[in-house]
Amino acid sequence: MTFDEVLEHVRELLQSKGRVAYRALKRRFELDDEYLEDLKAELIDAEHVAYDEDGKVLVWIGTAEEDKGKRIKEKGRNGKSEGEKAKGEKGEKEKDAGPVDEVYPERSRRA
């Protein structure tokens, strides 16, 4: 496998598991220390999608674009997120800001 192929496999593994021990990566992909360091440099330093935990574990943090995509997917058919749905089920309502003049009184004082 090429470096890019191994990187893609490691990225997919991290995304699905959330965290993977370096020893497990070395065993699973038959990596030497230098190869593992190259993967860490790419995922941690270059892509900013993971971080090192105590020099033993690689932890997935993802990217802003992935998080945005995840939030969009979590929206229900009525356009509300799970949290907004839960509020509705509990009978909680969002506060109405009222007319614009109440929120921005300076706008109503036009001469």
Task: Please report, for the chain, the start and end positions of each structural domain, with discontinuous segments joined by +.
Answer: 3-60
Q: Rounded to whole angstroms, how far apart are CA atoms 19 and 8?
A: 15
Taking only the tens place, the pLDDT of each residue in 67-102 is: 545 544 555 555 555 555 555 555 655 555 555 555
Mean pLDDT, to the nearest integer, of 36-56? 96
In CATH terms, 3-60 corresponds, of 1.10.10.10, 3.90.870.30, 3.40.710.10, 3.40.50.1980, to: 1.10.10.10
Please provide the average confidence, as pLDDT, over all residues in the chain: 78
pLDDT higher than threshold 50 for residue 12 = yes
12 vs 72, higher pLDDT = 12
